[in-house]
Structure 1
Amino acid sequence: MADPSSDGAEVFGNTFHGPTAFQAGDHNTQNIQHTHHHTALTPPPSPLDATADELARVIGAQWQEEAGLRQLLEPAPLPVRWRVSERKVAGRVVGATAEGAARARFGPLPGVPPATRARLRDGGGLPELHAVYGGLASGRLLLVGPPAAGKTATAVLLLLDALAHRAAQTAPADRARVPVPVLLSLDGWDPAHDTATDWAADRLTREYTLFHGRGGGARARQLLEQGRISLFLDGLDEVTGRLRGAMVSALETAPFRLVLVSRAREAVLTAKKARLGGALALEIQPVRPADAAGYLSNRLPAAPSAAWQTVTERLRTGDPAHPLATALASPLAIALLRDVYPDDGPVDELLDSVRFPSPAAVENHLLDHAVVAAYTPRPGHPRPRYSPETAERTLRHIARRLARDGSRDLRWWHIPGWTGQRPRMIAVWIVSTVVCGLPSTLLALRLEPSLVITVLGPLSMIGAGWGVALRLAKLSVPQPLASAGWRDIFTRETVTAGLVQWLSIGTALFWLVSLLPGFDHPPLWFWYLVTLPLGYSGVMVAGRGYEIVAYAPFLSVGAGRAYGRKRESDTSPSVVDSRSVGPRDVWRHHIGLRLFLGLLTGCALALYGGPMLAWNQTPLTGAVFALSAVLWTGATSGLAGNLAVATALAAVQLHHEEGTPVRLMHFLEDARRRNLLRATGPVYQFRHVRLQERLAADRPT
């Protein structure tokens, strides 16, 4: 057999390190080369087919919406061009294509020819990129390029093409061989503690409700292990260098197809420590001036303004080294130009080489006007709810805060740490003392109308109010996000245990009290009523609701550790609705469900003493006690212990200190829809790193 390295069609720049000849997953075709033919192992039907199809539907809806917000699809996508990278970031191309090798890690997808060195020689566009993705024997693809080269946008378009190819497979067996592409960011993964499969399965269970509930994590793991999911991993360049190398090493044996997105510089630095075996590195090419002109012309009216005609014509026929043409080699600059200048805007001012002597000057000008343009009223569009000044002031504050933290991720549950906690504590102290303390003081005076109670009662209420404020203060430092839904709290096992505990204790107390002589015995239903909170607390303590009851008297015994020892696959029933989970969904969960459960905890505590006081004293006394219990416990467990409430209070404080909107979460979602932010799981990020850096600067340069 001839040495493949001597083939003149070889594309240089990649050196192979690592295995390519092993079979991974039930749906990865093992191609065994014989003298005259190949034998393919056809996977049997799998019960995971319906789950994979539903995941494909959810992923498609998610990224179609995201691509629409980014304006990647209409009126037509910006042409994407790529070539095999000559940087030292991956192995030799022959290692990725497995030409001449006995085995390949992955067989080509149905309807996709094998990727070969000859097909890769001249590079290509999006259709050819999908052919490489689907036909690459190693299943390892690196997309690299300089900052703002459109790497993530390319990955999104490739993902949509992969979904379209999967949907085009009419035969179930063929569709089962096409993995569902899932785009994830690499933040939060520590390869020292979790394998790539473990981490990805956990992310899937947190970000897609399809995998919530009983067996969700197990189904996600099966899809990954069988190669039914391919991962598009973004943000390799945003983690530390040491961690990047560990991630690449951990991805070496992942049993699924991979598309890894990174800046070229960071990819080269990572490759010096660890290389992804069998990977093929493709570099996104700069946008050609003619392509930029065509893309911009497609969004203009049939008779564009003279300014736009001048710019597009100059891009087609002018000097390609002109600062504007050079700046528009970046998809970021093209997107900003499209957003900043309306159809009748003075876009031709960018041709002035005196005002804009360099591509950096053009890009900085566009970045400086991006926020104002997004919030400037335009005919035919809804009027923005926020003024350009408010929007820019808010986004600058956020960008500076993220720069101070050294992060790109805006975790809304960390916002309480952006302001001083003292004003919030004082406000909560006063409100809780007045609102919650008044009924409690009246109750104490009703039970024991003495001078001591008159003095000590208000003092006790002031101290209790301070305790609520201290509970709120604990949320002023970065917190882990507790995002369990009601299906994770009220599971079949915990509800059954709570019912057994309630009925057994209620019955036992009834018989125990009935043996006491000279006691006014309440009926059996009364004991079941007053012991009902024990069943509720049993449910909460044993599941993910333990943090809610942790500060409730008599309800928090044993809280905090039981759930951690339970396996996720044993806890919750499957869900019917399936969707991707974004920051707003997590916010609504906390502001709604967890707040409701906190108030419900107060109701449970009220049942401890309210009926007893009503039976032995007066109904009014029992009612006042119940009201006090609901207020105090609800304030402690539902309000002061709620991350969403703490964030809302911090937003009010930021409004007075920095001039940001009171409804900060609403503003963040609005900024996402205006293409300034993007959602990555439960966190927000600036759409463009350069925009975040520009906004974080003390003054424009």
Structure 2
Amino acid sequence: MHREIRNHNSGNAQVVIQAGETHGPLTINLHAPDRNAPVERLARAVAAQWSAEAKVRGLFGPAPMAITWQTADRRPWLTGGDAAAFADRFLDLPAPRRLVLLGEPGCGKTSAAVLLVHELLNRRRPGQAVPVLLSLGSWDPETEHLSQWLARRLAEEYPVLGRRALQQAGKLLDANLVLPVLDGLDEIPAGRRTQALAKLNQALADQDPIVLTCRKQEYKKLSTEALGRATVIEALPLNRESVRSYLLAPATPERTARWQPVLNHLMVKPGGPLASTLTDPLMLGLTRTVYAAEHGRNPAELVTDKRLRTQPAIEQHLLDAVVPTAFPTGPSDRNAAHWRRRRWREARAKRHLAFLAQHLGRLQSQELAWWRLELDGRRAENSQALMAVVLPLVVTASVLSTLVSGHNLRIGTLLNIVGFPVVITAFALWKGGGQRRRAVSAPARVIEPLIGVPLGAVLAAVTTGLGDHTGLLQPRVLRMVLTVAMVLPPAVLTVLWDGRQIGPEAATPAGLLARQRRPPLVLALLVATVLIPGSLLLDRLLGPPYSWLPHHRYPTGNFTQLLVGSVCWALASSRWGAYQVTRLRLACTGCLPFRLMRFLDDAHHRGVLRQEGSTYQFRHARLRERLAEKES
């Protein structure tokens, strides 16, 4: 009599060996990995995102920069290796594989992190941890635990995690299926960096891997804290041979002839301002981009121009040339990509980018998010802009009606027509903007519309009563009070839905905006669906003089006012609606273009901006600072 033995193995392994005697048939069942598992969907989404972004940033060029890395005690770590060699060194690190990348601004820390993520994903096997690159600047260590922040950012950036993305992200983190690659510890405000590093150490378990990037001087100022059990490496300036190889790749006689004056100057003055500037990977990359043959600039001007005699002057010259190079004048090729056929004049592009740079400076943020545009300014700015547009239009319409038709259309009558929609829209913009400027709990988000909608109805009653001098006790006001019960449920739903709008919806700025257009439009349709049969029911139950529907003895516009005003509430109280009002306000003043998302997408493809999930960032902080400084 033999005993059947069953072994169950779970986990990740390339080879499983079992020693022992076997009698009879041996059956092995291999289960293919589930491609629809959340971790596999996340891996595909991250791979697609950073592969595309690396192409836009030019990281897959013919001759990538040969950056040399050394450890904190000045021992060589990697000399001029490519992404594969960098990934090899990372995988050879002792457990728990923690790496800190340091360097001066523009030395290539973020590019190295992007290439590391791309290479690790190429080598990843099903079921293994997924490296995810996230910008650390949005983390507030005082108010949010690192694990909560990671889960929230994963849910925001990767909709493939499903409808319960936040819970799914938490499960992946708990199962150690996410390798955090955190970019920019220096982007956290200076007063919180020490606390952030301490909280980061507290949040990491004994065997949790992590990759962190930071500017060299900012990290060394954190003398009381350091990332525990981490290997710290620093990027060294490029040497002359690396600069030469990068400028001449791909090597051709014509290219060598164009760059020969610069190369000769570097040989004669190896310690001069130009040589010092080009040892910075950011400036070297800008030099190659600005003086590409197709842009018509001659790199010899770096040697012959007398204004470029100091390193700051050369750096400012290269930074100032980014926008003119990215947005050239002249016709575009008929076969050019669609984003290159969009014509943005250099002056306008520079003005718009400068405003966005100053906008980020006022918000003290690195991330350019469309839903934060309304936060730059006073809470009531959108409401005031709406009133400033409507009131002159009302006066103009009254004057034109008198001049053209000879009939005196009173201003009060016009206010009676547009009063309720305008007041309720302005109130929604003011209230919604205030909620988004502070953290509001879920119960408070429900209570506030319960108070705000009746208050808005009273204000609208006062406004709509100006036309025929009716008071607050007139039938129309009673009709409005009765209908508040119909407006409240959609209003509460609007606020609650808006609280979830910045969530697991899309991984691109345009995709997120498209997704966020649906809730307010659906709610507007819901409002109309509720009000029309509700008004019919009230009319049948109450009848004149308390009817909502038009009656020959009473004003005929009440029902239309309520319907339009309620729809305006549903739209204006959402982030999408507030963004549209803010965008139009800023476009009318010339600060931003009317097609803002197309402009941002264009700037991204042209290398001025980079995309970080559902937000944009400037290609480098020094470029953002230069644009803001020059235009201010």
Find the counterpart in structure 2 of residue 114 from structure 1.
none
Residues 606 and 629 of structure 1 are in contact (CA less than 8 Å); yes or no, is this contact kept in structure 2? no
The CA distance in 1 between the partners of 2:491 and 2:580, in whole Å, is: 30
The one of 512, 525, 528 aligned to 1:602: 528
| Other structure's SS at 1:276 match | coil
Give the counterpart of 2:101 among 143, 149, 164: 143
Matches within 5 A, 1:236-635: 236-252=185-201, 253-255=203-205, 256-270=208-222, 272-298=223-249, 303-304=254-255, 306-312=257-263, 315=266, 317-343=267-293, 344-352=296-304, 354-377=306-329, 380=333, 381=336, 382-418=340-376, 420-421=381-382, 422-427=384-389, 459=416, 462=419, 465-475=422-432, 479=436, 553-555=487-489, 581-610=507-536, 613=539, 621=550, 627-635=560-568
CA distance in 2, matches of 1:397, 1:688: 16
Tell me the alpha carbon deviations over residues 484-510 of structure 1, each in whole angstroms, 9 at most, x when there is no partner.
xxxxxxxxxxxxxxxxxxxxxxxxxxx
Q: Are 2:611 and 1:685 equivalent residues in the alignment?
A: no
**Distance across 2 between alignment mates of 1:597 and 1:254:** 43
Q: 1:345 to 1:604 in 2, by over 3 A?
A: same
Q: Is the 8 A contact 1:229 1:257 kept in 2?
A: no
Looking at structure 2, the residues matched to 184 and 433 of structure 1 have their Cα atoms a distance apart, in angstroms, of: 52
Structure 1: which 5+ residue stretches go unaligned?
A: 1-24, 30-43, 88-116, 170-174, 436-453, 483-548, 569-574
1:63 aligns with 2:50: yes
Residue 81 (structure 1) shift = 1.9
3-state SS in 1 of match to 2:321? helix
What's the counterpart of residue 87 of structure 2? 130
Residues 268, 389 of structure 1: alpha-carbon distance in 2 compared, 3 angstrom cutoff: same
Q: Secondary structure at the match of 1:181?
A: strand
Aligned residue type for 1:410 = L
SS in 2 for 1:468: helix
C-alpha separation in 2, matches of 1:405 and 1:644: 20
SS at match of 1:160: helix
1:72 maps to: 59
Q: Which amino acid aligns with 2:426?
A: A
Contact 1:83–1:123 (8 Å) recurs in 2: no
2:597 to 644, 661, 665: 665
Is contact 1:80-1:284 (8 Å) kept? yes
Contact 1:654 1:660 in 2 (8 A): yes
The CA deviation at 1:405 is: 3.4
Of stretches 618-627 and 306-315 in structure 1, the one that deviates more from structure 2 is 618-627
Alignment TM-score, normalising by the size of structure 2: 0.73
SS at match of 1:386: coil
Is contact 1:429–1:465 with CA below 8 Å preserved after alignment?
A: no
1: CA distance between counterparts of 2:355 and 2:142?
35
User: Comparing 365-374 with 664-673, which one deviates more in the overlay?
Assistant: 664-673
**What is the CA distance between 1:217 and its match in structure 2?**
2.9
Which amino acid in 2 is paired with 1:79?
A
1:204 is aligned to 2:172: no
Q: Which moved more, 1:353-362 or 1:625-634?
A: 625-634
In the other structure, the counterpart of 2:470 is none
Sequence identity (%): 29
In structure 1, distance between residues paired with 2:573 and 2:492 = 18
Q: 2:485 & 2:273 partners in 1: Cα distance?
A: 62
Structure 2 vs 1, CA of residues 371 and 62 (structure 1 numbering), >3 Å: closer, same or farther? same
For 2:425 and 2:395, how far apart are their aligned partners in 1?
9
Pairing 1:86–2:73 present? yes
Shift of 1:396: 1.3
How far is 1:275 from its partner?
Answer: 1.6
Structure 2: distance between partners of 1:663 and 1:138: 47
Note the 1:205-244 alignment, pairs <5 A: 205-214=155-164, 216-244=165-193
1:697 deviates by: 1.2
**RMSD of aligned C-alpha atoms?**
4.1
| Residue 187 of structure 1: aligned partner | 137
How far apart, in 1, do the equivalents of 2:396 and 2:177 lie? 58
Deviation of 1:364 after TM superposition, in Å, equals 0.8
| Residues 497 and 519 in structure 2, CA contact (< 8 A), matched pair in contact too | no
In structure 2, what is the equivalent of residue 449 of structure 1? none
Contact map agreement 1:28 1:227 (CA 8 A) in 2: no
* Deviation digits for residues 218-250 of structure 1 (CA, Å, limit 9, x no counterpart): 332232222221111012101123422222223
Are the equivalent residues in 2 in contact too, given 1:413–1:478 (CA < 8 A)? no
**Structure 2: distance between partners of 1:403 and 1:458:** 40
What's the offset of the Cα at 1:345?
1.8
- What is the distance in 1 between the residues matched to 2:221 and 2:13? 31
Q: Which moved more, 1:624-633 or 1:220-229?
A: 624-633
* Equivalence for 2:463: none
The code of the aligned residue for 2:527 comes to T
Name 1:652's counterpart in structure 2. Answer: 584
Contact 1:288 1:329 in 2 (8 A): yes
The separation in 2 between residues aligned to 1:631 and 1:433, in whole angstroms, is 21
Quick one: structure 1 residues 551 and 52, their matched pair in 2 at CA, closer, same or farther if it must change by over 3 Å? farther
Is the partner of 1:286 in helix, strand or coil? Answer: coil
1:106-185 superposed matches below 5 A: 120=77, 126-136=83-93, 137-166=95-124, 169=125, 175-176=126-127, 178-185=128-135
What's the counterpart of residue 25 of structure 2? none
The two structures have a TM-score, normalised by structure 1, of: 0.66
Q: Give 3-state SS (helix, strand or coil) of 2:515's partner.
A: helix
3-state SS of paired residue (1:203): helix
Deviation, 1:645, is: 3.0
Amino acid at match of 1:83: Q
CA contact (8 A) 1:390 1:659 kept: no
Q: Using the TM superposition, give the Cα deviation of residue 286 of structure 1 relative to its aligned residue in structure 2, in angstroms.
A: 1.4
Structure 2 counterpart of 1:74, which letter?
Answer: G
Provide the rounded CA distance (Å) in 2 between the counterparts of 1:355 and 1:649: 44
How many angstroms apart in 2 are the aligned matches of 1:186 and 1:28?
Answer: 32
How many residues matched?
526
Quote how far apart the aligned CAs of 1:434 are: 12
Deviates more, 1:461-470 or 1:141-150: 461-470
CA distance in 2, matches of 1:355, 1:120: 39
Give the secondary structure class of the aligned counterpart of 1:347. coil
Specify the SS of the correspondent of 1:651: helix
What per-residue deviation string (whole Å, max 9, x for no partner) do you get for residues 396-418 of structure 1?
Answer: 12222322333323232232354
CA distance in 2, matches of 1:550, 1:242: 48
Which AA in structure 2 matches 1:279? A
Cα deviation, residue 143, structure 1: 0.3
What's the offset of the Cα at 1:75? 2.8
Amino acid at match of 1:394: H
Deviation at 1:351, TM superposition (A): 1.7
Separation (CA, whole Å) in 1 of partners of 2:151 and 2:560:
44
| Partner deviation per Cα, 1:558-577 (whole Å, 9 max, x = no partner) | 76998999xx9xxxxxx9xx
Distance in 1 (alpha carbons) for counterparts of 2:174 and 2:272 = 51
Contact 1:144–1:282 under 8 Å retained in 2: yes
More deviation, 388-397/470-479: 470-479
Q: Secondary structure at the match of 1:275?
A: coil
